Every structure is written in C-alpha cells, then in structure tokens.
C-alpha cells in the first residue's frame, strides 16, 4: 500500500532535516579548515572561478579550452587532498557527509525509492502501529505450543488445545503469506490468556517487516479515538484518523472490554463494514462467547463478521498465569 500523504510528508521532512544538517556540518568543517590552512580557501575560490570559465567555454563551443580547465581543476583538487591529509584532515573533509551516500539524502535514486527510504517507511509504520516495543518479544519466532495442553479438548471439534493452537498458528501464517493476493479477516475468540493477542502481534510483525500499514488498537482506545473524531470539528481532526479505515491491516484487540453503548455498537459496524467495502483486512480478538458477542453488538454486526471473517477459537489455560507459576518468560 502507498503511504498516506501525511506519512509521506513525515518522511520527507526528515530528509529535509538531514540535508540541512549535512549542509550545516559542511560549513562548520569548511570554516575550521580554512582558518587552519588558508591556502584551502584560495583553492576553493580558484576552483569556483575555473568552473565558471568552463561553463562559458562550453556555451561557446571551445572544447580545447574546456579540457585545459578540467586539468587545472583536477590539479587543484589533488593539491587540496594533499593539504588536507598533511594537516590531519581526511581527504573528503570538505565534501558533504551524507547520512545515505547512495541517494545523498534525497530518498530516491533514478526515480526509485532508496533502501534508506524503505527503511524509514518500515520504522514509521512500526511507530504508528502502536506495537513497536511489544513485537520484539511477541512474534512468530517466539510463539510456543508448550503452553497448550494436549489433554484439554474442544468438545465441538474434538481437537486438543495444542492441536487447536497449531491450526490457528497455521491460519495466521497463511494470512501473512496470502496477504497481498486476497483480502482476509480474522476473528479470534476464546477465554482470557489463550494467545489471541500474541497471535495478532505475530501477524502484525510479519506484515510490518514487509512495509505494510498495520494499526493496532485496544477496543477501548479505538472507540475513544473514534469518539474524539466524531465530536470534533473537521479542521481539528488528526490526518491519521482516516488511516483507521484505510490501513492495510487494522487490529482491534479485546473487543468487549470497553464500555458498550449505542455509539460503540454503531461505530463498530460502520468501521468493519467500511473496511470490508474498501477490501481492507481486519483482525478482531475477543473474550466473549459468540452468543454473547451477538447480544452485545447486535445480530447485524455479528452477521457481517460471520460472513466475512475466518473464525478461530483458542482454548486452554491462561498462559500468563502459567508463566507466572512455571517461571516462563
């Protein structure tokens, strides 16, 4: 997905800051070098004068003069390098020291995004996803099936907690692998502490690594944000508000823990319905049983989810409590 305009502006402002910093640092180095070695200033002025003469000669078609001037400039450049090294400076001391030499801090090479721009994209997306720190610990590499019992069974499917977790894990992996090929939505439900949020984080981390736009909200924070947007003047709205509806993946965690009212129910329906219409993926996790979810948010909302989301139930003992008593990390 292309960056939102406000995200692109954030990155380009950083490139402008870098360019200003590079120019400022260069001027400081020039000032220091010219004071210590006055001949360097003379060389700089002579090169500028020769460059101007070279430009005039090119316009006048005087090719032989141009070649002579090139040699003169090369000689002065050689003298400058010698003077710099003789006085304890590096040979490139009077050249710009770019943060990224490849694109010279423009973000682009021949009209294509530089690797540093792509890195900036990923860093920005991580920061705005609200997940930057947690994903260092909660990702596919750290997902463990050891916390899931091989004796506790789902009566409806006959699968153990571990088998159920493996099925959910595989579905999450497939979600990531197929993300750019088709629109998908996941509805993760089950009791507290069975790994729903952890699995959501795994998906988020994998997609952020490939520069997809992922946004994570607890249900409380999401509806608080939507309320601020709904009741504020248009001129006061954050340009990131539309990102909730347009990001590649929206994660709504712990749905059902917020104070539910008619506003929350209507906003949930509008949010999921609009994202379905825009073909944007959403992951919802909840501790509510399906029948309680329907009663809490209306049959219309549940029907919309049931017909457009893959439903994944996780079972087992609370992993957080297991870690406390068994010394897990």
> In angstroms, rounded to a whole number, what is the distance separating the alpha carbons of residues 299 and 102?
56
Report whether 18 contacts 120 (CB < 8 A).
no
- Distance CA(283)–CA(34), nearest Å, equals 61
What pLDDT shows up at residue 287? 94
Q: What is the pLDDT of residue 104?
A: 96
- Put simply, whether the predicted model's pTM sits higher than 0.75 gets the answer no
Contact criterion met (CB below 8 Å) for 290 and 284: no
- How distant is the alpha carbon of residue 81 from its chain centre? 42
Q: What is the pLDDT of residue 109?
A: 94
Rounded CA-CA distance 166/159 in Å is 10
pLDDT of 2: 56
Question: How far apart, in whole angstroms, are the C-alpha atoms of residue 299 and residue 305?
Answer: 10
pLDDT for the residue numbered 261: 87
- The per-residue DSSP string of 32-57 comes to HHHHH-HHHHHHHHHHHHHHHHHHHH
pLDDT tens-digit profile, the chain (329 residues): 456 788 888 999 999 999 999 999 999 999 999 999 999 999 999 988 888 887 777 777 766 676 777 888 889 999 999 999 999 999 999 999 999 999 999 999 999 988 889 878 877 877 777 777 788 889 999 999 999 999 999 988 999 999 999 999 999 999 999 999 999 999 999 999 999 999 999 999 999 888 888 888 899 988 988 887 777 655 445 555 577 888 899 999 999 988 888 899 999 999 999 999 999 999 999 999 999 998 999 899 999 999 999 999 999 999 988 888 766 54
How high is the pLDDT of residue 115? 83
Residue 215: closest CA among 124, 328, 141, 152: 124
What DSSP element (H or E) covers 261? none
């Amino acid at each position: 997905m292309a960056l939102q305009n406000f995200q692109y502006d954030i990155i380009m402002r950083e490139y402008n800051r870098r360019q200003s910093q590079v120019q400022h640092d260069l001027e400081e180095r020039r000032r220091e070098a010219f004071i210590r070695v006055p001949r360097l200033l003379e060389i700089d002025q002579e090169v500028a004068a020769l460059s101007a003469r070279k430009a005039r000669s090119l316009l006048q078609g005087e090719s032989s003069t141009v070649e002579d001037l090139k040699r003169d400039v090369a000689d002065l450049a050689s003298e400058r390098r010698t003077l710099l090294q003789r006085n304890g400076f590096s040979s490139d001391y009077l050249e710009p020291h770019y943060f990224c030499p490849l694109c010279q801090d423009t973000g682009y090479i021949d009209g294509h995004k530089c690797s540093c721009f792509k890195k900036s994209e990923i860093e920005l997306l991580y920061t705005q996803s609200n997940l930057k720190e947690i994903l260092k610990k909660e990702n596919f590499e750290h997902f463990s099936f050891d916390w899931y019992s091989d004796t506790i069974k789902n009566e409806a499917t006959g699968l153990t907690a571990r088998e159920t977790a493996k099925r959910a894990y595989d579905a999450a992996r497939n979600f990531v692998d197929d993300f750019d090929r088709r629109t998908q939505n996941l509805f993760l439900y089950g009791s507290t502490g069975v790994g729903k949020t952890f699995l959501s984080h795994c998906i988020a981390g994998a997609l952020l690594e490939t520069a997809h736009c992922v946004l994570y909200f607890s249900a409380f924070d999401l509806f608080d944000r939507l309320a601020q947007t709904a009741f504020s003047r248009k001129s006061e709205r954050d340009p990131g508000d539309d990102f909730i509806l347009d990001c590649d993946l929206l994660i709504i965690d712990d749905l059902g823990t917020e104070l539910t009212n008619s506003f929350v129910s209507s906003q949930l329906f509008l949010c999921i319905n609009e994202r379905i219409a825009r073909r944007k993926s959403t992951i919802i996790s909840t501790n509510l049983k399906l029948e309680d979810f329907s009663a809490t948010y209306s049959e219309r909302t549940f029907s919309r989810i049931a017909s457009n989301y893959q439903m994944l139930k996780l079972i087992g003992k609370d992993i957080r409590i297991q870690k406390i008593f068994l010394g897990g990390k």
